[in-house]
Amino acid sequence: MFKIRKAKDSDIPEVMKINLETLPENYWYGFYKNLLDNWGEAFLVAEKEGVLVGYAMSRIEEQSDPVLLGLAKDEVSVWRRVISTIKGDLRKVGHLVSIAVRAPYRRIGIGTALLRETISVVDKFYNAESLYLEVRVTNYPAISLYEKFGFRKARIVKGYYSDGEDAYVMVLRLKPTQA
């Protein structure tokens, strides 16, 4: 079995190792430390027999974009975005920055457990209205995991990644929608 727990400072080097092993999007130490210091409830690790095998880290942002709030699809968003920006209507939104599980430990539910806990913390602890993320358009395992939790492909960002690949912005609305 494995357990999901909050990360601590001393986990950062191992989290960085997992990130380097699993993803081409890598970050410097201070980036992880900043996430942990500011949104530590949403910085999670998976541990199996004392070994770190996965992580999920998120931050909370103030956004007015209805697409990121899970209130609109991209096509209708341009004007609503402009209007929301002018109104200065900022709402709390979770951003899943990165999630990964070490290859030998995949397909046994660890990604699911990390994402389930992330959603719960972002919704109940931080009280955000939505959770969003970017994912490579060819990353079927991750997209399929997100869709199982109800995330929708809300936007495509052309050339988002440094190698030129496009990203889907996927969004999960956490709160009831009201006018």
Helix runs in 29-132, H state only: 29-39, 77-87, 110-120
Cβ proximity to ligand ACO: between 117 and 129 the closer is 117
Question: Taking Cα atoms as reference points, which of 177, 44, 178, 146 lies closest to residue 167?
Answer: 146
CA distances from 10 to 6, 14, 29, 36 (A): 12, 8, 12, 11
124 is in the binding site of which of Zn ion, ligand ACO, none (Cβ under 5 to 8 A by kind)? none
Is 133 one of the binding residues for ligand ACO (CB under 6 A)? yes
Amino acid sitting at position 4? I
Taking the least distance from each CB to ligand ACO, the nearer of 83 and 157 is 157
Residue that has been written with the tokens 């209805």 in this structure: 66
**According to CB under 6 A, which one of 100, 171, 172, 174 is a site residue for ligand ACO?**
100
**With CB under 6 A as the contact rule, which of the stretches 67-75, 98-106, 118-126, 150-158 interacts with ligand ACO?**
98-106
Give the integer Cα–Cα distance in Å for 100 and 46.
10
Exactly one of 18, 134, 142, 167 binds Zn ion (CB under 5 A); that residue is 134
Quote the Cα angle for 179-77-145, to 5°. 90
- Binder among 55, 111, 118, 172 for ligand ACO (CB under 6 A): 111
Instruction: Give the orientation angle of helix 29-39 with respect to helix 12-22, to 10 degrees.
Output: 120
Which of Zn ion, ligand ACO, none lies near 19, with the C-beta cut-off 5 to 8 A by kind? none
Q: Which of 6, 106, 152, 173 binds ligand ACO (CB under 6 A)?
A: 106
Interface residues toward ligand ACO, by CB under 6 A = 22-23, 96, 98-101, 106-112, 133, 135, 139-142, 144-145, 148
